[in-house]
Amino acid sequence: MAFLRPEVKEGLLRWRETLAGLAVAGYGLWLAAGGRGLDLWFGLAVAFAGAAMAWAGWQLARFRRARGGPGVVQVDERRIAYFGPVTGGIVALDDLERLEIGPGPSGHPVWRLFHEGGVPLEIPVNAEGAEVLFDAFAALPGLRLEPMLRALEGPPGQPAVIWQKGHRRLH
């Protein structure tokens, strides 16, 4: 017998880093409220670290999508690999020329990775393991996370360019 309903468990897992950061920040504020001198400053430092952890967790939770999409994503040594039921491929981050998000053949959103001398690699946003793409995309020089997260949360309409090699700002 399960203690939590599956949708509640999935929600807690999606937001786990944010919740942990809020708990650390709360503990830091509790330390700071009862302390003086060094204890006060230590509590404030812990609260600040917890707030930063919660902020990073909030961004990652916004990136995560429901699982169960086709295929599996892996990132290893700056190479993104997608193994799908029909297509797949490997793209090195250093060879990436453009990153887009848009509707896929089934109408669900997909990441499109355009790279040097190859066919664009399409990865469904809900593919198994797709959350590892957050750190891979964040490593791209000049990528802005907030426009990427807004495009991901919006309806899958026209393809949106998230990042392009050599461009400083796209949004």
pLDDT, tens digit (0-9, with 9 covering 90-100), for 78-132: 899 999 888 889 999 999 999 998 888 777 888 999 998 788 999 998 888 888 8
CA separation for the pair 99, 164 (Å, rounded): 6
Q: How many Cβ atoms from other residues are within 10 Å of residue 80's Cβ?
A: 23
Type and span of the H or E element at 81: strand 79-83
% residues pLDDT > 90 (the chain): 35
**Under the phi-then-psi rule, with left for phi > 0, alpha for psi from -120 to 50, and beta for the rest, what region is 17?**
alpha
Q: How do beta strands 96-103 and 109-115 pair?
A: antiparallel
The identity of residue 50, as a single letter, is: G
Better pLDDT: 10 or 77:
77
For 129, phi and psi rounded to 5 degrees? 85, 10
pLDDT score recorded for residue 169: 52
pLDDT score recorded for residue 49: 96
Mean pLDDT of the chain: 86
